[in-house]
Structure formats: structure tokens, C-alpha cells
Amino acid sequence: MQAELEMNQEQDIQFKQMKKKKSKKRLDSWLLLLPALSIFLFFFLLPLVFLFITSFKNFDAATGIGHDWTLQNYAKFITDQFYLGVLWRTVKIALITTLAAVVISYPVAYQITKVRGRMKNYLTLLVLSPLLISMVIRCYGWVILLSNNGVVNNALMKLGLIDKPLTLLYTEFSVVIGMVHVLFPYMVLSIMGSLERIDPSIIRASQNLGAGPIRTFFSVILPLTLPGIFAGSVMVFSLAVSSFVTPAILGGPQVKVMSFLTYEQVSTILNWPFGSAIGFLLIFIATITIIIYSKLLTKSEKGVAIQ
């Protein structure tokens, strides 16, 4: 009887100790997350929530943000031809950028996966280097290249192809050029990833069955890398839609896009509510892209499985 009691007590103590250990583990994980989470809640989530609230306030010329609730900011955007035009231009530029990025990235990705050893490292570094050098500087380089007496115009005139300078800078064209340059590495990395995942024996099998290199490329390699192209495109598109630096430097007020509009409303016109509403419409577009993308991706994966 006595012994049994002692046993029970001992087990009780052990049990309590173990409980302590378990809850300590849970505490550990939250302690590790605490700094990141608190900064996120306080300086990311909270500001965005407040901004969202602002987008439903009226504009007050004196203070910027009025006190009344309204849907006016969103209504203004979707009923005004000018703003819809900006939205369309933003999407159009992003689409063209994405398409151009695919076209110029694919051959480069293909070439890099073909070479081996040191050369591969150097080429990868070259392709990634745009990520390392300040975006402002790279865009500035394009300003020098594309301006009225810039390199491109001068060269074209020397060749006698044109006789007065073309307006290249501050056009949709210059914005697209800059964006392709900035976003190119993301596309290359994505395509390289899918190219490297192709089992070399599949290519050998295709050649073995009598397909030439071009035939092999179009009937085997290209279809297998479609998911990579797709993933890269979504990434580039959503970055292009929301990018600010490139359109600001290479487009300026002449080529307004959504992000520039937001900036302009907030910092020069001081219409905070309207600026916020534009910002959230931009978030909406970027999110929709991602959602459509993941839907399509699961569909295409099923398609592949059926084949």
C-alpha cells in the first residue's frame, strides 16, 4: 500500500516534469518566432490594414484624409476612362514584358544548361549580375542609351536608317526594355530549373527514335519545360505589374502606370484615400494573377498525369 502510494507520487512527479518539457518546446518555437512576427504584425499587417481603411475614406483637401466612409475612390477609378487607360497600359506593358522575357530567356537558359564547368558558372553569374547592380543605375544606363542624342539614335542616324532622332525614351517601349532587363534573371532561373530537371535519357530516346535535334526540341524539350516557362511568366508578370522604379525612370509622367499613379496621388496630389484605393486595386490584380496561375498549374499537372 505504502509502496504503491510512493510509486504513484513518483510517477506524478515524472509526469509533471514531462509536461513541463513539452510546453517548453512549444514556448521555444514561439520565442524564436516572436521578433519576426511582432515586427510583421506591427509594421506590415497593421499599416496595410490602416491603408485599406483609408481607401474607404473621403478626400479632404485640408488634411488629406476625411472622416466619412465612401466607396467613391474605387468608383472614381472604374468609371474614369483615364484611370482605366492607366490600368490597361500597366497590364499591357507587363504582358509584353513577359512575352519578350520568355523569348530572349529561353535560348540563354538552354545554352547555359548545355555548357559545363567553369563556363557555366561564369554565364550564370553574368545572367544574374543584373540582380546585383542597382536598379536605378541600370535604368539610368538605358536613359543614356535611348535618349534623343543617345547611342541608339546616333547609331541609327549614322547608318542612315533614319534622319531625325526617334522618340525612344519616356515611351512604353523604353519602359518595356528596362523591365525586360530588370526581370530577365527571374525568367532565366525558372526556365533553367525546368531544363535541368529533364532526364537526359528522354532526349536520347527521342534521338534514338529518329528525331533530329530541332524535332526533338519542339516535340520533347519545349513541352517538358512549359511549367518552367509558366512559373517564370507569372513571376515576371506580377513583378512587372507592380514595379515602380523602371516606369518611374524610363517612363516618367508620360507613361503612367498604376504604381506611379499611386505615388503621384500620395506624394504630389496628397489625395491619400484615392492613392490607397489605386494601391489596393494593384494588389488585387497581382493576387488574381497568382490565383489563376495556381489554378491553371493544378489543371495542367492533371493533364500531364492523364497523358
Partner 1 sequence: MSYLCLENVVKTFNKTEVVKKMNLEIKKGELVSFLGPSGCGKTTTLNMIAGFLDVDGGSIVVDGKPVHLLPPNKREMGMVFQNYALFPHMTVFDNVAYGLKLRKVPKSEINQRVLEALEMVRLSGYEKRYPKELSGGQQQRVSLARALVIKPKVLLLDEPLSNLDAKLRQEMREEIVDIQKKVGITTIFVTHDQEEALAISDRIAVMYEGRIEQVDTPVAIYNHPQTDFVSRFIGEVNQIQGHVVETFSGNQCKVSFDGYHQVLSCPGTKDTLIDFYLRPEKIQIYQEHSEGLRVRVERKMFLGAKTRYILQLKDQQFIADISNTVLNPDQIIEGQDVLAVWNPEELLATKK
Partner 2 sequence: MRKVLPKACLNFFCILVYIFLAAPIVVVLLSSLTTTEYIVFPPKGITLRWYAELINHPEFMQSFTLSIMVALGTSVISTIIGTMASIAVVRYEFRGKTAVTQLIGSPLLIPSVVFGVALLQFFSWIGLAASPVALVIGHFILTIPFVMRLVVASLVGFDRSIELAAKNLGAGRLRVFFQITLPVIKSGVIAGAIFAFITSFDDLTVALFIVSTDVVTLPVRIYTYMQYQYDPIITSVSSIMILLTVILMVVIERILGVGKVFSSKN
Judged by the rule CB under 8 A, the positions of this chain that interact with partner 1 are 11, 14, 17-18, 21
Q: Which is nearer to partner 2, 13 or 125 (CB)?
A: 125
Q: Which is nearer to partner 2, 200 or 303 (CB)?
A: 200
- Contacting residues for 255 by C-beta, under 8 A, at least 6 apart: 89, 170, 171, 172, 174, 175, 247
Instruction: Pick what 17 binds: partner 2, partner 1, none; C-beta below 5 to 8 Å, kind-dependent.
Output: partner 1
Q: How far is the CB of 18 from partner 1 (least distance, A)?
A: 6
Instruction: Pick what 135 binds: partner 1, partner 2, none; C-beta below 5 to 8 Å, kind-dependent.
Output: partner 2
Instruction: Pick what 248 binds: partner 2, partner 1, none; C-beta below 5 to 8 Å, kind-dependent.
Output: partner 2
Q: How far is the CB of 46 from partner 2 (least distance, A)?
A: 7
Q: Which is nearer to partner 2, 48 or 224 (CB)?
A: 48
Q: How far is the CB of 25 from partner 1 (least distance, A)?
A: 11
How many other C-beta atoms lie within 10 A of the C-beta of residue 179?
Answer: 27
Q: How far is the CB of 112 from partner 2 (least distance, A)?
A: 9
Instruction: Pick what 184 binds: partner 2, partner 1, none; C-beta below 5 to 8 Å, kind-dependent.
Output: partner 2
Angle subtended at Cα 45 by Cα 39 and Cα 47, rounded to the nearest 5 degrees: 95
Q: Which is nearer to partner 1, 20 or 215 (CB)?
A: 20
Q: How far is the CB of 16 from partner 1 (least distance, A)?
A: 12
Q: Which is nearer to partner 2, 7 or 37 (CB)?
A: 37
Instruction: Pick what 124 binds: partner 1, partner 2, none; C-beta below 5 to 8 Å, kind-dependent.
Output: partner 2
Instruction: Pick what 21 binds: partner 1, partner 2, none; C-beta below 5 to 8 Å, kind-dependent.
Output: partner 1
Q: Which is nearer to partner 1, 15 or 69 (CB)?
A: 15
Q: How far is the CB of 83 from partner 2 (least distance, A)?
A: 16
Rounded to 10 deg, the angle between the 172-196 and 222-242 helix axes is 140
